[in-house]
Amino acid sequence: MSLKDLAFVHLLTELTLYARVNQLGTVLPRTLVHIEEKEVAVIPDIVFVKRAKSGIIQKNRICGVPDLVVEIVSHPSHRDKLMGKKKDTYARCEVPEYWVADPFEKAIRKYVLNEGGYQETEKSQLFPDLQVQLPDS
């Protein structure tokens, strides 16, 4: 199993359990996110939608802005894309939180959207008590 796959399964499990236990909303893997007003269609690695916004979850896609998008670095050379273009796209779409999980650095960078774009933070506003680390290979 690749480092990305290990990180994906681990994060998906941790986020799903936390969201379920705390009745926060729905965590979905690799689901099409269509934000019509921004003319954006993407398939992030992991998406979270708060319970109050669950109506945006359709049969095979999310039609609207999710509350959290998680992207996982599949190769060190892809890091810049996730930290640049994709991060800018999610900020433009007003996704409240964006995480970049880097299994090569064993790091999860969390960003919260503010008026000037994303600001890195130590603690998630959506999952404040969640302590998650990426698994060793």
Q: What percent of the chain has pLDDT over 90?
A: 87
Q: What is the mean pLDDT of residues 41-57?
A: 98
- pLDDT greater than 90 at residue 14: yes
Position 132, amino acid: V
The two three-digit tokens of residue 129, written as one number: 């008590």
The two tokens of residue 69 are 């998008």
**Beta-bridge partner residues of 118:** 113
- Cβ within 8 Å of residue 72, ≥6 positions away: 4, 7, 8, 11, 45, 46, 100, 101, 102, 103
Average pLDDT taken over every residue of the chain = 95
Report the pLDDT averaged over residues 55-70. 97
pLDDT for 77 beyond 80: yes
Task: Please tell me the CATH code under which domain 3-121 is placed.
Answer: 3.90.1570.10
The reported pLDDT for the residue numbered 137 is: 66
**Domain locations along the chain:** 3-121
Average pLDDT of 21-31?
Answer: 98
Give pLDDT, residue 106. Answer: 95
Q: What angle do CA 53, 32, 48 make, to 5 degrees?
A: 40
β-sheet with 32-35: strand ranges across: 40-42, 32-35, 61-63
User: What pLDDT, on a 0 to 100 scale, did the predictor assign at position 80?
Assistant: 83
- With 70 as the cut, is the pLDDT of residue 104 above it? yes
Binned at pLDDT 50, 70 and 90, residue 111 comes out as: very high
3-class DSSP state for residue 86? helix
Beta carbons of 49 and 78 less than 8 angstroms apart? no
